Amino acid sequence: MKVSLFITCLSEIFYQNVAKDVVEVLERLGCEVDFPKGQICCGQPAFNSGYKKDAQKAAKQMIASFEKAEYIVTPSGSCAAMFKEYPELFHDDENWRERAKSVADKTYEFSQFIVHVLKVEDVGAIYPGRATFHTSCHMTRLLGEKEAPSLLLKNVKGLEMLPLKNNYDCCGFGGTFAVKMAPISERMVDEKVRHVEESTADLLIAADNGCLMNIKGRIDRKGKPIEVKHIAQILNSRVEGVT
């Protein structure tokens, strides 16, 4: 099975190790992974801010870069959800709409691809610890994926998963929302950090680097002794005590 990696902006700039973990897990599960070099930003920041023409320009580049892929996998639920928006973005252009639909139909978030396409729920990971999971808004509400991360994490040997109060609440990032509405965003992430503390977990896991960056930034500023990791980092841990 051939998989094309959509790395996303945040992974490329800040979380290269997450992308490496994604590739290693997929290869261990029998996938052949390639990296289309023409990929850029998916256009989500422009799209969310109402700049349709700029979003279309980015989308055209991404469609051209990925349309020959067998499957497209990304470590970000929000960026996968943006690919699903492409057909509507070109609702008045039949040619680009059809090309966009072809790309959207074969795009998956990392954990979603493992569970629903590869039909795997146990990747053989070992990670001792007490953790809780943050569900990102875009992944659950727009992409519609609510089960895959939990199914994979419950099969990680040594990992105790604890419930997170109001786990469905936004962390306050929301891309440009955190910039435009900074005071509101700060109160939202403070509430999220408080709930993580209340869970008594030593580790917070998520499937979207945007959420992780926002929550970890607040945890670090508050000096809280809580680790923050992407689900790919957990699923790629196979030796006890080594991450």
Whether 240 is covered by a domain: the verdict is no
Residue 56's domain spans which residues? 2-116
101 and 130 fall within a common domain: no
111 and 131 fall within a common domain: no
Residue 3 to residue 5: CA distance in whole angstroms:
6
Whether 243 is covered by a domain: the verdict is no
Nearest to 216 by CA among 228, 203, 205: 228
How far is residue 198 from each of residues 41, 191, 206, 207, measured CA to CA in Å? 36, 11, 17, 21
Q: Total structural domains in the chain?
A: 2
Beta strands in 135-242 (DSSP E): 157-162, 203-206, 227-230
CATH code, domain with 139? 3.40.50
Nearest to 73 by CA among 18, 121, 127, 125: 18
Whether 242 is covered by a domain: the verdict is no
Whether 222 is covered by a domain: the verdict is yes
Up-side HSE of residue 205: CA atoms within 13 Å toward CB? Answer: 25
| Residue 124 structure tokens | 């053989």
111 and 132 fall within a common domain: no
**Which residue type is seen at 179?**
V
Written as tens digits, the pLDDT of the chain (243 aa) is 999 999 999 999 999 999 999 999 999 999 999 999 999 999 999 998 999 999 999 999 999 999 999 999 999 999 999 999 999 999 999 999 999 999 999 999 999 999 999 999 999 999 999 999 999 888 998 899 999 999 999 999 999 999 999 988 998 888 778 778 889 989 999 999 999 999 999 999 999 989 998 999 999 999 999 999 999 999 999 854 444
